[in-house]
Amino acid sequence: MSEEQISLHLQSDTTATQQSESPPTQFFEDVHFLGDKDGKVKIRSPPTFTNKLDERKYKLQHLAVAFRVFAKQGFDEGVAGHISLRDPINPDHFWINPLSMHFSQIKVSDLVEVNENGEVQQGGAQYPINGPAFAIHSEIHKARPDINAACHAHSVYGKAFSCFGRVIEPLYQDALRFYNDLSVYDAYGGTVVSTEEGARIAKALGPQHRSVILRNHGIITCGQTVDEAAFLFIALDRCCHSQMLANAAAGPGWEKIYIDKETAEMTHKRSGNPSKMWLAFQPYYDQIVAEDLNVLA
């Protein structure tokens, strides 16, 4: 892919469908960037759409790329792992990866649309999907209309930390993305095979949290966008790793020092808000598209 092609793609991806009459003021405040004195130099921001088909195309492109990103992060393991995206045209449907296709090979045309009953729809690829994936994601989407995307994979550090059935401690700045924004599903009954179990996971996630640790299983992260949910998954898996390193190093003379409540709450709002999480995912998106534009096909 040439530099010119990459430049044209990135420009169209972030500006072509954006409505100039409605500048995302809150987004700019959330990401607190610095530009020029005239306000002409601005950070990229999520596009808005007047056409739902354009919106769907954009979101499916970011969903397909998210799987490639997960492959690069080593979150693939056999047929385990899934990312779902609520359909912007029919909110009762969502898109998900086909069963038994490696994350690194997924492109837009491979994504599967399913309805609220788990039935594959004609609008997407005609491939089977993971049954446990539907059991979990369908209930999360049903319980939380504010959530448009959810990620689950059997990441190494997520699995290891899940064995403790605890949340991440406020020990360092990046951990504060999950301060009072992380739940624990404190049960394990084997492979999820029913929507009843999915409903219990959704209940554990709660009405406001974006992430949940499944005891003895792994982690789930959610967001308003697939970008937000995917970056939160990367961040949470790394926090699980860091937490275990801190625990292993702790001892007499090396006691852990916790961040105070007021600072933690302020930092969570500044560093863990949905706008910041969307922006944090964009470099990963750029990397994948620059390597293989076919992911968008």
Map out the domains of the chain with their CATH numbers. Answer: 52-296 (3.40.225.10)
**Dihedral (CA of 273, 275, 276, 281) sign:** positive
**Whole-number pLDDT of residue 254:** 97
pLDDT of residue 18: 43
Task: Specify the pLDDT at position 15.
Answer: 40
pLDDT for the residue numbered 24: 77
Cβ atoms within 10 A of the Cβ of 252, count? 5
How many C-beta neighbours within 10 Å does residue 175 have? Answer: 25
pTM to 2 decimal places: 0.92
pLDDT, residue 19, reads 42
pLDDT recorded at residue 9: 53
Task: Give the pLDDT confidence score for residue 12 in this predicted structure.
Answer: 45
Nearest C-alpha neighbor of 93 from the set 82, 101, 83, 85: 85
Specify the pLDDT at position 23: 53
Which residues, given as ranges, of the chain have pLDDT below 50?
Answer: 1, 3-8, 11-12, 14-22
